[in-house]
Amino acid sequence: MLARKLLLILLGCLPLLGFAQKYRVNIQTTKGKIQLELYDGTPKHRDNFVHLAKNHFYDGVLFHRVIPQFMVQAGDPDSKNAKRGDSLGDGDLPYTVPAEIMPERYYHKRGALGAARDDNPAKASSATQFYVVTGKIQTDSSLEKAEKRSGYHILDARKTTYKHIGGAPHLDNNYTVFGEVLSGMSIADSIAAVPRDKKDRPMDDIRIVRLRVKRKFLFWWW
């Protein structure tokens, strides 16, 4: 009887219980560990990334393009067995992910996770390639230039963020942002700072050893 009463009480409380699931990404690189969170507001990019991660697609790929105080990029499948000096960045899977660009909500602040793409008019994203923003602190002048370059007016609240933590505002409204770094920005910075060749490929390979996604459930009462 007691167990039954407790069960009835619990069932009665369910309408007051809320929960959400968040996807956390753990990237073990040859430089250290980076942890990210995927946004629920960009479900096409989130689900595609989760699918690739579950199939261990990213294990072994290189950070094939790095630019100090801008970003580090990975995800080219051709990079897994690339030799020194090989040109990288064109590898992909035979599909694209429809754009989910929402700069008023997700933008290129320092630590943002974005989807790379080619120059297609629909701004559809690469199936596999992504980047992490390591952008520098912005000024009023650099933000003005970014607005002219992107053709997008940056919200005042976003400008404040860019001027305090940095980012790459000229990418806003042109590339999909679908997550952000939770920990390990120092690792991303160290990757961005390595010596590189004329095509921005690191002189010494920096590899993703393993990339895994976990679901974290969050509960609350009201």
What is the CATH classification number for the domain harbouring 174?
2.40.100.10
Average pLDDT (126-151) is 96
Query: What's the whole-number average pLDDT of the chain?
Result: 92
Any domain includes 60: yes
Whether 34 has a pLDDT exceeding 90, the answer reads: yes
- Gap between the Cα atoms of 99 and 133, Å rounded: 18
Beta strands per DSSP E along the chain: 17-29, 32-38, 63-67, 71-74, 96-97, 112-115, 125-126, 130-133, 177-183, 208-221
Q: Where are the alpha helices (DSSP H) in 70-217?
A: 140-150, 156-164, 185-192
Any domain includes 135: yes
Average pLDDT (64-76) is 98
In this prediction, residue 220 carries a pLDDT of 43
Any domain includes 89: no
Any domain includes 174: yes
Any domain includes 7: no
Full domain range(s) for residue 29: 21-81+99-221
User: pTM, whole model, 2 decimals?
Assistant: 0.88
Q: How many domains does the chain have?
A: 1
pLDDT digits (tens, 9 = 90+) for 205-218: 999 999 999 987 55
pLDDT digits (tens, 9 = 90+) for 154-199: 999 999 999 999 999 999 999 999 999 999 999 999 999 999 999 9
Any domain includes 91: no
Average pLDDT (28-41) is 98
Average pLDDT (113-128) is 98
Whether 221 has a pLDDT exceeding 70, the answer reads: no
Residue 92's pLDDT band (cuts 50, 70, 90): very high
